[in-house]
Structure 1
């Protein structure tokens, strides 16, 4: 198990324009050949956008992009004609396929915080696709079969336990609160990369609820 702390993330974005980014993997100018991917996950970015800030139209290809909004509202528009507002509790997925362009903005009045995770598909190319699952229920898995991956969203009450999926690769990211994993304490922004995960449990701290994103991945990386 490889634990990565929030403070170890690469800082990016453009604070002067209201964008602050924290990258868990090698990203853009922060090239780290020893931190390119884990399983099929190639990026896990925490993005903070001030009201009115956003990413102008930019391209993606050969990537599965899954977004989880923590606070605020994310406005999405893409070159396939999709336009939506993504809120806390929604899972957004953009399959870039052979190529797509999109815009991401905070058009709301409050600060926006979201976690965006990029996964490498087993086969490149294909047609772009887009969907939003509104208000996904706790413990309901969200499948990304193109990347051999399954996302598990857990909102734990204080002291509640949940199983870490048994998998060739399991990636655990703490969104809020505190959790205990195999005698290791993880806080907001911390993550754990677990190879050959078996019979592991997460337990929320006793003081407050916790929210955790867990990727269950087959041996694709």
Structure 2
């Protein structure tokens, strides 16, 4: 998630090392922490969670990788929720010692890390803010793009992929995709069940798609 030497390259040991099962929340937004997380192995989903689930998935990180070092370097809390997608081995390191180790690097390396972390945090925070707003618009765009006319003169979408794969294309969690489809159905913008979705009001769906 962020390029930096592994903890072994520093002159201090991890405060703790944990092996955790899939489904464990490693970091949640708005929860303060005095540690830095390093993913030694495993896979972690990054995004925004709600109700115990990853509502909007922003990315996936495969270890080895730092998970929140960029936010620590910028002295701000992580704007991402982090959920183990497999069994993971994670090192927890003291933020104070981490920052001391960074301060011992050459000045040019420190400046580079600060520039990279600043850009990463800004881009991530922008992406998170957009994710929470435009899931409905992206789903509407996807439906219209894949719609075909059928014999009654309306538009219809046949889902040839699993919803999980479609959600991945849209950059959202599968639960979010299902929730948006349910909302669109309640609004009368889509109809039908299973893998066949009718679009009875394409003009209204297009208005939603353009925001």
- Per the normalisation by structure 2, the TM-score is 0.29
Relative to its length, the structure with more strand (as a share) is 1
